[in-house]
DNA sequence: GCAAAAGTGTTACCGCTACACCCATGG
DNA sequence: CCATGGGTGTAGCGGTAACACTTTTGC
């Protein structure tokens, strides 16, 4: 067993969420299968970004590697949310053809562990193995290759829940952000409208959201104050939630 | 690939939590390795309950099967909480010896998906493949075989979080239970003391906790009213939580 | 009758909700 | 000067936290 050999049975799929101050987006890759002889396109659809793990590699390392190969970024927010191993998850005709064409056993049982990650789409340059990677609005996605639509929906549920209980909204924004941008993150992902004044009162209680002596520039309206997240303050002031529902 | 063959690379570990009205417990199995020639015991320790999946079987089905084989019970609360696949997770000397002795490749990469389940220890009869299965208090567990201590801690974190946000406490109790028993579930798992009157006020708001015209019997104090959970009422009256932290 | 747990109400405080107007900037 | 989003305060309500005594049963 070479350490630098890919494991045939264990893969990681990354649901890379991005935010452009307007919509929640996700990174998807074109999958185009062409007829070996004629070169005609047999089908074209979209997949999440993912890969098999190396024999020496942890799941988390594999997810971070995929993210790095895609974006060149490190230390991105990354969270395991579920494992997918349904016996039929790769059995649709297109998927079977794709596996055969890429020299893999279409009958082998492959488990995929799902990670989602959060980043601001701004200033991210995408490339991946010469394949076509693009941001797609989550709300417009109808179906994906393999069981990736299922994985995406599952990631969304996990993200919403995490967003309700942990301070992660700013992971979808640049390092310095405005409160309106942060509010929009919550509105888009939770699918609600929030009151600006109440939202700001809440932020004011969260001491780890630090107001900077710095303002937006070049906007055609009153420039907003910038904030940043302080993990140090967060770690010091976090207290356990105890407001449970029975 | 026979459908009834165990998959060599994918396993499921069940963290079976139980509650005896006093403590949170977990089901563990003796693992005893004896010298092939002399019959002397080489070591003895404890593992979670788990098994490889069958080639035709989903992860959830495998977890339910393990639970059924252990307890004879079906429709037990069961929740996937994480996947474990660290390259070194089976590399400790005892684990390597165990794998070799049971005819498995000690170097193969095995992923394990963790499920936790909740039940009342009362009236559960345990048996498993002739091996010794017992309830152990979670608070007294120091180490386990393989990476099972890690898996257990991870299950605990997931359980606490779930208990805060979803009505699952009664899954650790008999069908009919008293409010003091339910309160004790929360106190033990969350590690807090709760005020009896405030707890009951909260329960009163949860319409899916139905008071019965039935009381405890044979207790040496004022007998308590029994309650049960109504999933039907819960589904109808649930509303989305929106009390997020930023 | 005594030990043990069941059951019950009030007050103070805090956070949530709802709601409308003026301000600073770019074009 | 106009369009655009930034930024601010108050009042009512509902849930949380703190707190002590009486009741019912088995033995």
CA distance B182 to A39: 66
Longest distance between any two alpha carbons in chain B, whole Å: 65
CA distance A47 to A30: 7
pLDDT digits (tens, 9 = 90+) for B183-218: 999 999 999 999 999 999 999 999 999 999 999 999
Whether the Cβ atoms of residue B134 and residue B126 lie closer than 8 Å to each other: yes
Banded pLDDT at A245 (limits 50, 70, 90): confident
Residue B113 pLDDT > 90, yes or no? Answer: yes
Mean pLDDT value of segment A129-135: 88
pLDDT digits (tens, 9 = 90+) for A158-202: 999 999 989 999 999 999 999 999 999 999 999 999 999 999 999
User: Class of the A7-165 domain?
Assistant: alpha beta
Q: What is the pLDDT of residue A128?
A: 79
A238 touches strand C (CB under 7 A): no
DSSP code of B86?
A: -
Query: CA A121 – C1' D9 distance (Å)?
Result: 36
Hunting for tokens 């699918």 — which residue is that? Answer: A191
**HSE-CB for A28 with a 13 A CA cutoff:** 24
Q: Could B53 and A82 be called an inter-chain contact, meaning their C-beta atoms sit closer than 8 Å?
A: no
Domain locations along chain A: 7-165, 175-237
Test mutation, A85, A114, A190, chain B, max B CBs within 10 A:
A85
Q: Could B206 and A10 be called an inter-chain contact, meaning their C-beta atoms sit closer than 8 Å?
A: no
Q: Could A203 and B85 be called an inter-chain contact, meaning their C-beta atoms sit closer than 8 Å?
A: no
B237 touches strand C (CB under 7 A): no
CA–centroid distance for A101 within its chain: 28
CB count in 10 Å sphere of residue A36:
9
Question: Whose CA is nearest the C1' atom of nucleotide C17?
Answer: A198
**Dihedral sign computed on CA atoms, order A201, A207, A210, A213:** positive
Whether the Cβ atoms of residue B32 and residue B94 lie closer than 8 Å to each other: no
Strand partners, B131: B128
Q: Provide CATH code, domain B6-165.
A: 3.90.79.10
Instruction: Give the percent of chain A with pLDDT over 90.
Output: 89
Residue A246 pLDDT > 80, yes or no? Answer: no
A220 CA: nearest nucleotide by C1':
C26
CA distance A175 to A229: 8
Query: CA A115 – C1' C17 distance (Å)?
Result: 36
Q: What is the pLDDT of residue B123?
A: 74
The helix (H) or strand (E) run that includes residue A211 is strand A209-215
Considering only the beta carbons, identify the residue of B167, B245, B246 that sits closest to A246: B167
Which residues in B lie closer than 8 A to residue A186 (C-beta atoms)? 244, 246
pLDDT digits (tens, 9 = 90+) for A81-127: 999 999 999 999 999 999 999 999 999 999 999 999 999 998 788 88
DSSP code of A145?
A: S
Q: Lowest mean pLDDT of A222-236, B122-136, B178-192, name the range.
A: B122-136
Q: Which tokens sit at B191?
A: 């590690």
**Cβ-based contacts under 8 A for chains A and B:** 105
Fold of domain A175-237: Arc Repressor Mutant, subunit A (1.10.10)
């Amino acid at each position: 067993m070479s350490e630098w050999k890919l494991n045939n049975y264990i893969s990681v799929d990354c649901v890379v969420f991005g935010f452009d101050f307007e919509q929640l987006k996700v990174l998807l890759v074109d999958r185009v299968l062409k007829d070996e002889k004629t070169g005609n396109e047999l089908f074209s659809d979209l997949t999440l970004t993912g890969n098999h793990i190396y024999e020496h590699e942890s799941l988390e390392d594999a997810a971070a590697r995929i993210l790095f190969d895609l974006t060149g970024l490190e230390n991105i927010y990354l969270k395991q949310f579920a494992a997918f191993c349904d016996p039929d998850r790769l059995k649709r005709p297109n998927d079977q053809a794709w596996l055969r064409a890429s020299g893999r056993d279409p009958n082998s049982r492959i488990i995929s562990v799902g990670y989602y990650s959060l980043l601001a789409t701004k200033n991210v340059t995408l490339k991946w193995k010469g394949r076509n990677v693009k941001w797609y609005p989550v709300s417009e996605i109808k179906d994906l290759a393999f069981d990736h639509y299922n994985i995406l929906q599952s990631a969304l549920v996990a993200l919403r829940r995490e967003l309700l209980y942990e301070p992660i909204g700013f992971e979808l924004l640049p390092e310095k952000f405005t409160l309106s941008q942060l509010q929009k993150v919550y509105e888009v992902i939770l699918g609600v409208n929030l009151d600006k004044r109440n939202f700001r009162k809440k932020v004011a209680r969260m001491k780890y959201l630090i107001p900077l002596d710095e303002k937006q520039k070049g906007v055609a309206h009153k420039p907003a104050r910038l904030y940043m997240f302080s993990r140090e303050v967060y770690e010091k002031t976090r207290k356990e939630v105890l407001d449970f529902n029975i």
